[in-house]
Structures are given as structure tokens and as C-alpha cells.
Amino acid sequence: MKPLVVIPSTGNRYKMLWKLLDSLELWPEREAYDYTLVLQEYDQEQLWELQEHLSGFTCAWEVFPRLLGPHVARQTAIQKNLDRDRFIMLDDDQEMLPDTSFVDALRLSQHPLTGLVCIRQAASPGLVAQRRRTVRGIEQSPFVCTDGGMVLSRHTADVIRAMPSEAYSCDNTEWSLAVYMAGLMNLVDHNNWSLHRAGSRGGRRASAGRLDDGWLSVPRVTPDPRYVRFPEMRQKLPDVHEANRVGWTRGFTSLAHAAHHAAAQERARAWEEQCRMRT
């Protein structure tokens, strides 16, 4: 079965979703995956427009009349697709480049001790070309984020399925922490890139974190202070609500690191036992 690409989207960002879908139409890897949209607060007119936009493009979708938040939207899709072995998470303000590839990330994600695998992103093709010249390779990182796209295989998806369906203030922090403390190592693939408008005008800055955004009217669950520290930091986006700040890797506490190492040892022993039984 093909990996499933999961794309949550909210009605106030529908024009961004159209750009992503347009890029998928031309993407060389398009036929390698199945697609599902988790649509929140889309009105009937937008749904009709979406149907026209998807002409010739096979894509399932589910519509919710209220905002679920990034975590619950993605978790819902994972829970409803128990038969899938691999998932790719995209944001609706991303665009695929002709050479964007998840092949390596999907391969890496299947290792039993690997958790989330993310590719890189930049806001323009020029920035992608510039950053590609400065960094390459695969990096181990306790904290990762959706960025250019996030890949996870079945054993990691099981960790996400087991999480509470809460309105987290930062889904990237909570997913990274849950997977890391389950004994899995998260990775960043610096060899593959996509476009992401998160930090540009009209991206997440405009639609996901502003004080007037509807999602901020929902009570937020902030990270557990036993495991995550939010150090004092200069607010780069002054119009972004405090609850929407993203945690840094160094914000994981020694207790979180200890939990990871203990769980990783258990997973490694279980894996070694399975290998012995096969031989």
C-alpha cells in the first residue's frame, strides 16, 4: 500500500491549499502516494471550488465544522488509517519543488529505532538553492518540526495514536517529545527540500498564530514543564501569540533525555531479540 500524504487545512487558508495542490499536480513523485485532506471550517462554496480544483487528481477528504488544531487533525487521519504503514505530513502553505523527494526519508523512517524524519524547507527557490550549498546529510535531532514535510512509519504512528487528543499549543514540540521519550530518535534530512510559506507574508505568520485567529480562541495545552523548557527568547514575530511559540531542542530537560535513553535501550533489546528469533 502506498504511503499516505496527510494535509490538514482551515477555511481561512484555502488559497494556500490551492497552490499546494497545483504543485502536487506537477510533482514527479505524485503517483507514488495516496492523499487525504483534513478540512476544518470550509464552507460549501470552498468545497465546490475544491472539487473543481481536484479534477483529475484523486484525493480523499473529511470535513469538520470546527477547528481541530494541527495535532488532532493529523492524529485523526492516522487513527482512521490503521492499515497504512507510512505517512507523510504536509502543511497547507507548502509547495513541492520538482526535485522534492521523500524517498530517503521514508526509507530512514522504517528503521525500528527511528522516529520522525523531516526534510528541510525554505520560503523561496532562491533560499533553497542557497541553503543546499551550506548543509547536507542526515542529522539526529530530538526536536523536529513539519518544516518541508514530516515522515513517520507504523511504529512511530502508534506513538502518535496513543497521545491525548488535546489542543496543544505546539504540535511539533509535543510530537517530537512523545516520540523521543518513547525511545526513538528523530532525524532531519538536509538533502531534500520543499517550499514552505510559514515565515513569509501570508503563511503561518498570517493565519496560524495571530491574536485574531480563531484557533487561538481554543484553550491551549502547553508543554509539560518537567520535560520542556521555553527559554527566554526574542520574539521574532511580534504579532504571534505567546501560545504559538515553537520550543527549541535545547528546551528538552534532562528528565526527558533520561526517559529517551531508558526507552531506547528497551527498544534496542527488543529489536535484538526479534533478530535472534528470525535467525
Q: What is the pLDDT of residues 1-28, one digit of tens each?
A: 999 999 999 999 899 999 999 999 999 9
Between 118 and 133, the higher pLDDT residue: 118
DSSP category for residue 84: -
Query: How many CB atoms within 10 Å of residue 94?
Result: 25
User: What is the predicted pLDDT for the residue at 273?
Assistant: 85
Between 230 and 250, the higher pLDDT residue: 230
The most distant pair of C-alpha atoms in the chain lies apart, rounded to whole Å, by 59
**Using an 8 Å Cβ cutoff, are 182 and 113 in contact?**
no
Q: Give 165's pLDDT tier (boundaries 50, 70, 90).
A: very high
Distance CA(209)–CA(77), nearest Å, equals: 23
Mean pLDDT of the residues in the chain: 85
**Using an 8 Å Cβ cutoff, are 116 and 150 in contact?**
yes
Backbone φ/ψ region at 136: left (φ over 0), alpha (ψ -120 to 50), beta: beta
Element (H, E) at 44: helix 44-53
C-alpha cell at 278: 528470525
C-alpha cell at 96: 513541492
User: What is the predicted pLDDT for the residue at 158?
Assistant: 97
User: What is the predicted pLDDT for the residue at 228?
Assistant: 86
Q: 0.95 exceeded by the pTM?
A: no
> Cβ neighbours of residue 134 under 8 Å, at least 6 residues apart?
none
Would you say residue 209 has pLDDT above 50?
Answer: no
User: What is the predicted pLDDT for the residue at 219?
Assistant: 61
Measured over the CA atoms of residue 3, residue 111, residue 77 and residue 257, the dihedral's sign is: negative
User: What is the predicted pLDDT for the residue at 82?
Assistant: 96
Q: Which of 38-52, 141-155, 243-257 has the lowest mean pLDDT?
A: 243-257
4-278 has CATH 3.40.50.300 classification: no
Measured over the CA atoms of residue 46, residue 59, residue 80 and residue 168, the dihedral's sign is: negative
3-state class percentages of the chain: helix first, strand second, coil last, to nearest 5 = 40, 20, 40
Would you say residue 183 has pLDDT above 70?
Answer: yes
Q: What is the pLDDT of residues 99-130, one digit of tens each?
A: 999 999 999 999 999 999 999 988 888 888 88
Give alpha helix (H) positions in the chain: 14-26, 44-53, 70-79, 103-109, 125-132, 154-161, 171-181, 204-207, 254-278
Pair type for strands 114-122 and 185-196: parallel
Element (H, E) at 259: helix 254-278
**Using an 8 Å Cβ cutoff, are 5 and 90 in contact?**
yes
Between 22 and 57, the higher pLDDT residue: 22
